Structure 1
Amino acid sequence: MGHVRPSGYARSAMTEQSTLTDPADAPAVPPRTWKPRAARRVLDQARDLLADARLLTTADLDLRERVRDAYTATREVRVHAGLRTVPVMALEERRKKLRVAVLEKAGFTQVTQVLVAGTERLVAAGIGAGTARLAVSAARELADEVDADLRFRIDVDPDDPYATVLVQALYAFGLATDARHRHLDEARRVADVVPARLEPALPATSLWRRLMTPADRRSAAHAAVSVLADQVTAARLTDDARAVRAAVGQPPEGAQVWADFEARSAEYYGLLSQVVDLGDDHEAAEGGLPADVVRRVEAQPLDRSLLRASLRGYQQFGAKYALVQRRTILGDEMGLGKTMQSIAVAAHLVATGGTHVLVVCPASVVTNWKREVEQHSDLTAVVLHGTDREQAAARWADDGGVAVTTFEVLGRLDLPHDLRPALTVVDEAHYVKNPETLRGREVRRWADRSDRVLFLSGTPMENKVAEFKNMVGYLQPEVAAQLDPNAGLSGAKAFRRIVAPAYLRRNQEDVLTELPEMVQVEEWEQFGPVDGAAYRDAVLAGNFMSMRQAAFAVSDAADSAKLVRLRELVTEAVDGGRRVIVFSYFLSVLDQVMNLLGDLAVGPLTGAVPVPERQAMVDALSAPGGPSVLVSQITAGGVGLNVQAASVVIFCEPQVKPTIEAQAVARAHRMGQTRTVQVHRLLVEQSVDQRMMEILGSKAALFEEFARQSEITDASPSAVDVDAPSETSLSRTILAEEQRRLGSPV
């Protein structure tokens, strides 16, 4: 967590460059003669190095217990808080012989008071021993029930001393865990080499010792000092050990760790899940895979030496699954960290001998991929996009690393024909659901020459089993051959069994027990004179798109019911310290929103905005003192970008496909979010909005049923044909209805 690349121990002026070979393996050359002062300095440095090595191999164990104790205390406080309003009378229902009146008379009126007091203090207060034992027993039973139902979450509250201690303990544990994974081999080598050389090296540390030591032992002493000097010179764990030691002795101030928690809460929960059971559904984390596949996945090692992040249990499983199955689709619901799991796979492969990794993704997330790779691993990210893509491609071909490019650029790159990536990752893989397109053919070409292939898609297929079959065909044609493209509702179970070897999906509510709740509100308004007139004109003209934008077709914001409500929602959110994302499909609506919000907003983020500038807009929203609202076109900002800084999402109009809204919400309601997410939909009664909600509602429910159920997980969006109405048929139906309702000619 927050790793700083180590610079190593400073080399002593009296030491020379040498290797890390054991003296027994070294060539028979006269050992260097060390001056006593220089030898003593080397021994002091070697002892410090040994202490650092031992710290890095053991500190995480002690800190693990610190986390466990802090978690237990925090959880206990919350259980007691949950019982604070429960009267002591409730205990009588559990112990019929309990004399509750005696407790009340002694001043114990709440269950929490009985729990805190315990048997001894109740007796000391004049309550009989039998009554005290019955009361405490009943109170603990009730507390156990509350504890079992408690959904533990770390709320950002610097004034909560228990939560602050827990976050501080997690911070230190994260440093120690990260350092241990990074330096374990070096620490073990130091622990093996240094202790055996310290005593033999002593004769070289003083003239008196030399005079009292036989010649052969003097020579061995100088050789031992040289070996220790080699260890000191090559050390790379010093800075990390210093950081761990500081965190163990004196955790950072609460304000500092809370700020770090808000920025990287997903990693904190990952650390906590390594220490305590957060109630994760392990079967859901395994995606309901067949037992034999689960056994192979669990047996797969995961080298984390190049990784700088703590993985959740389900993320480790997903990374191992991709390694074992080799060519798969990771279809986790949006917000579960598919990118992080992909980086873990890449880090493992590079650490175990791989050299080249290729990532193919939409242009909107190229910058995000580069940032994520560099932030969470020691891998080198190379962007093959833009005017210098050919030079970057040549550099990647020669030096290796993680190349990030787009579907459009992939086929234009001049790369060696014999280049075989250890891993090719295809993000938003549903972009290549048609293998006959140019992008589909290019992806297949690289998939065929790659050792492993990982497709990522939170919604692998929106509507058709046939298209999902095409995606599986890139990876495991023998599995795709078993799929019936005409499978409907009755074929869903068989479908899910077949795709199990090539498809893994988990849902947020199954594996993220700490995810804040999402509150969805439909903000129904009524047209006023001006926006109502604009709507009637659009209906009369038979213009479906104008109908959808009519609520914003005003010159004065006060004449738009939606803009008035939007301003109220934004004001309330900003006053409460929240950040907001406003989504619309239409550029004209985005312009109106920008004019309304002024300096409060950054944007609009549209498809015309260059990729680096899109990320800059997201960064601006996250920056202290920056704008409070990001205004975005839903087709541009609703895919790929992570905006956990925002906890309020506003849709200016309903979308034609339910999945478009789901993708957009997931930009904020995802792992790493620390606040309850509010989703507001601006809607006008008796308008195209209401008709769309009515027509799409049933389709969304059907999609939801199958998108969240799967034998391999609880969701497979492609497990059944869900024929969402096309925009053409939808517009025709709604337009006819509205023209009839308003008495206009159909």
Structure 2
Amino acid sequence: MRGGSARGVNVGRGERDVVARGARLDEAARALVDDHGRAVQAVRTALKPLLDEMVRQELDVIPVARLQDVTEGRLRLGSVEEGGLRTVGQVLDAGPYRLRQIPGVGLRTVDQILAAARRLSEAAYETVAVHIDVDRPEPRTSALVIALHVLVEAGPDARRAVDAAGGLAARLGPLLSDAGPAAGRVRMLLAGRDGRARALAAVGELRTVVDEADQAGTPGLLAQASVDLLRGSAGDVAAWVDFELRSAEYYSLLAEISATAPDSAAAEGFLPEEVAERVRGQHLDDAHRRVSLRGYQAFGARFALAQRKVILGDEMGLGKTIQAIAALTHLAAEGQSHFVVVCPASVLVNWTREIEARSALRVLPLHGPDRHDAFADWKGRGGVAVTTFDALRGFPAPGGGEVGMLVVDEAHSVKNPKTLRSQAVARWTERCGRTLFMTGTPMENRVGEFRNLVRMLDPALADSLGERDAMTGSVAFRKAVAPVYLRRNQEDVLAELPSLQRIEEWEELSASDEEAYREAVRAGNFTAMRRAAYASPARSAKLNRLREIVREARENGQKAVVFSHFKDVLGVVREALDTGSADDGPVFGPLTGGVPPARRQQLVDEFTQVTGPAVLVAQIQAAGVGLNMQAASVVVLCEPQIKPTLEHQAVARAHRMGQVRSVRVHRLLATGGVDERMVRMLEDKDRLFDAYARRSAVAEATPDAIDVSDADIARRIIEEEQARLGVTGTASAVSRMAPETSEPKG
């Protein structure tokens, strides 16, 4: 008996070390959960006064009569209104004592009135959403931005660490409790036979948990996340600048913490319940993803994974690219190694940059003269191959199971099955187990075109679709196509998002663009370098992308404003966008410095009064101050400005009080030349301008009050480009700057 007991209490250093390691891991996990909880509570504390004020404003305009609706007409409120209480807010302020002083209002009625008023108040808290005005910061919104900044800076890694910490704490707590006696011989002796058995079993499980955590690098992940959460904000200026750069991430966190997510049915595209339930059950791995998703975006990625071959038709600006990347990173975590993205040449660079920035996936552009070498590299090593519709035709279709997912951007480009590009996409789709078509063009009223796309994904479903499906209404149409089609509109899911989204559109210059650019560099002509991308309109990469942006805006019934510094560029733009079709809407302008001020306003008024899509083409210096263009929800900047003040003021013409839709700003940029150098050289000064000058009434009124650029920038860029291209300059940068830095007359 004593021998058996001795063996039962024999605890070695190994067991004690396991318990100690488990205790340290548990302590780190619980500390991180607490640190995160405090950061979240700081956001809630900063949010509360803003919500309180918004709810109060809501209640102050709700008439007392609405209390009848809450109580199904059981209340008699005439005496209350006669007593001077006309809104629900006034009723809550009055409280029970004052209400009881009103003749004809008894104790039971007072209780019913206050209960109904509180129900309306609770409903208001669930529906209001705080919007942060970057142009009118005040102490309360600054406190909220600073509190959010801590969590945003910690990033997705901190979220993963917190999730891991919560899971570890839940597992380790009971195991450590059971394994406690194994921490020492005396405790083991006193634990009894059952206690000793539990302790040894728990030690075995603990060893597994801590070994797995060590192999996954979890202790380091937890420690780094705690450091990030405890670091705090760098200050209100840094927080506000970061908010403007990453506002979507701030609003995503804010919606999550305040529980003001959009209606779930809208976020799920009003899919039938049986489809939506299957999608909700789809796991989404984020191990290789470097960006957080909003709820509707996570659902979109799950839809693509669960349904395997689908069309994601979200309205422009909802992050279709991010959803595609989320699906790719999930498949990579499951062991898939080869993926293909097919897109127009105008967005190939954007896709490459987005995948590099938003994921840990290897990306290879298959474009240009070396595309076949790149294809061979991709075949051998894997990654995400990004190619164009035309280039895809030159690659052999894959074998079954070789490609984890095929993504086709701007999929409406392959709606005609007779074209070679459509046939190439169809071949690849047939060989790929998963295919994601992406288009921001609404398909409900284009059943014929839609059927052609669906046929590549699900021929049987395509055969079942008829014109009647669209004519019976949007809900019926979406039910019929639910297995393959998901579309969400901005108004359904962007209630909690910022009203301004900035999108950098990087383009590779075409051969003719490049030729014009080299000639401008050789001449040392800075303004010609900046305009070179539009010198040959028929083959202009920037102009092609501009057409696509405006086309999609028109398809969605939106108005667009296109800005350029240069009058000749505006002429090219107007000619390219004026299709003459009534469905595309009119093109106004160009609005330049030579147009009298009264006529400028008249152009803006005519643009605003159009029902449906329209385009206004404007010189950025002439339209940057004094004109309100809040009818526009899409803004395109044809080139970067040497004075960031001009860009900020031009965007502010559309992004201002009275704008009811999210404003998207597309900045057209060419890789490898003057645009890229300008962006890099002006970036730091631009951030400082955002932090200080833009909040100044003086800066708003006078663009030159804070000039963050000078002729040295132009001179340096010309010299660097002449060296890069190996050409000898023939003119001075300063002389070529003169026409551009002067302001337009009128």
Classify the TM-score, shorter chain.
0.5 to 0.7
Deviation (angstroms), 1:441: 2.0
Contact 2:161 2:221 in 1 (8 A): no
CA distance in 2, matches of 1:99, 1:448: 70
- In percent, how many aligned pairs have the same letter? 36
Name the structure with the higher helix share.
2
Partner of 2:623: 569
Change in 2 beyond 3 A, CA 1:359/1:160: same
Tell me if 1:507 matches 2:489: yes
State the AA in 2 paired with 1:236.
G
Tell me if 1:236 matches 2:290: no
Change in 2 beyond 3 A, CA 1:343/1:558: same
Contact 2:30 2:165 in 1 (8 A): no
Partner of 1:454: 436
Contact 1:425 1:456 in 2 (8 A): yes
Matches within 5 A, 1:566-645: 567-572=621-626, 581-582=635-636, 600=646, 610=670, 616=676, 623=683, 625-626=685-686
Partner of 1:52: 28
**SS in structure 2 opposite 1:501?**
coil
Tell me if 1:181 matches 2:235: no
CA distance in 2, matches of 1:598, 1:181: 37
Tell me if 1:280 matches 2:252: no
Deviation string 1:267-305 (CA, Å, 9 cap, x unpaired) is: 333333434442622222222222221221122222223
Deviation string 1:617-661 (CA, Å, 9 cap, x unpaired) is: 996799465599xxxxxxxxxxxxxxxxxxxxxxxxxxxxxxxxx
Partner of 2:371: 389
CA distance in 1, matches of 2:260, 2:469: 38
Deviation (angstroms), 1:503: 1.0
Partner of 2:56: 80
Partner of 1:268: 250
Contact 1:182 1:305 in 2 (8 A): no
CA distance in 2, matches of 1:300, 1:91: 43
Deviation (angstroms), 1:176: 7.6
Deviation (angstroms), 1:369: 1.8
Deviation (angstroms), 1:449: 1.7
CA distance in 2, matches of 1:229, 1:147: 43
Partner of 1:405: 387
Contact 1:285 1:506 in 2 (8 A): yes
**SS in structure 1 opposite 2:239?**
helix
Partner of 1:472: 454
Matches within 5 A, 1:8-47: none
Deviation (angstroms), 1:403: 2.0
State the AA in 1 paired with 2:217.
R
Which residue of 330, 333, 344 maps to 1:351?
Answer: 333
CA distance in 2, matches of 1:505, 1:307: 23
Deviation (angstroms), 1:388: 4.2
Change in 2 beyond 3 A, CA 1:94/1:258: farther
Deviation (angstroms), 1:325: 1.1
**SS in structure 2 opposite 1:481?**
helix
Gaps of 5+ in 1: 1-31, 104-108, 204-222, 524-533, 584-589, 629-746
Matches within 5 A, 1:324-339: 324-339=306-321
Partner of 2:232: 251
Tell me if 1:311 matches 2:293: yes
**SS in structure 2 opposite 1:348?**
helix
Change in 2 beyond 3 A, CA 1:114/1:178: farther
Deviation (angstroms), 1:333: 1.0
Partner of 2:416: 434
CA distance in 2, matches of 1:419, 1:425: 15
Change in 2 beyond 3 A, CA 1:507/1:549: closer
Contact 1:382 1:401 in 2 (8 A): yes
Partner of 1:361: 343
Change in 2 beyond 3 A, CA 1:607/1:579: closer
Partner of 2:407: 425
Change in 2 beyond 3 A, CA 1:417/1:158: same
Partner of 2:128: 150
Deviation (angstroms), 1:322: 1.3
CA distance in 2, matches of 1:158, 1:549: 33
State the AA in 1 paired with 2:624.
V
Deviation (angstroms), 1:61: 5.6
Deviation (angstroms), 1:354: 1.6
Contact 1:332 1:457 in 2 (8 A): yes
State the AA in 1 paired with 2:55.
V
Query: How many residues are aligned here?
Result: 541
Deviation (angstroms), 1:327: 0.4
Gaps of 5+ in 2: 1-11, 69-74, 186-203, 501-556, 562-570, 604-616, 651-664, 689-746
Deviation (angstroms), 1:551: 5.7
Deviation (angstroms), 1:457: 0.3
Contact 2:407 2:436 in 1 (8 A): yes
Deviation (angstroms), 1:378: 2.6
CA distance in 2, matches of 1:387, 1:240: 43
Change in 2 beyond 3 A, CA 1:486/1:166: same
Partner of 1:291: 273
Deviation (angstroms), 1:495: 4.9
Q: TM-score w.r.t. structure 1 length?
A: 0.57
Bigger shift: 456-465 or 501-510?
456-465
Deviation (angstroms), 1:82: 5.0
Matches within 5 A, 1:479-490: 479-484=461-466, 489=471
Deviation string 1:321-346 (CA, Å, 9 cap, x unpaired) is: 11121101011111111111111211
Deviation (angstroms), 1:83: 5.8
Deviation (angstroms), 1:601: 6.4
CA distance in 2, matches of 1:310, 1:510: 20
Partner of 2:514: none
Deviation (angstroms), 1:242: 4.1
Contact 2:560 2:636 in 1 (8 A): no
RMSD between superposed Cα atoms in Å? 5.9
State the AA in 2 paired with 1:398.
G
Deviation (angstroms), 1:440: 1.4
Contact 1:70 1:165 in 2 (8 A): yes
CA distance in 1, matches of 2:36, 2:258: 14
**SS in structure 2 opposite 1:572?**
coil
CA distance in 1, matches of 2:591, 2:276: 56
**SS in structure 2 opposite 1:335?**
coil
Contact 2:328 2:339 in 1 (8 A): yes
Contact 2:560 2:635 in 1 (8 A): no
Contact 1:45 1:232 in 2 (8 A): no
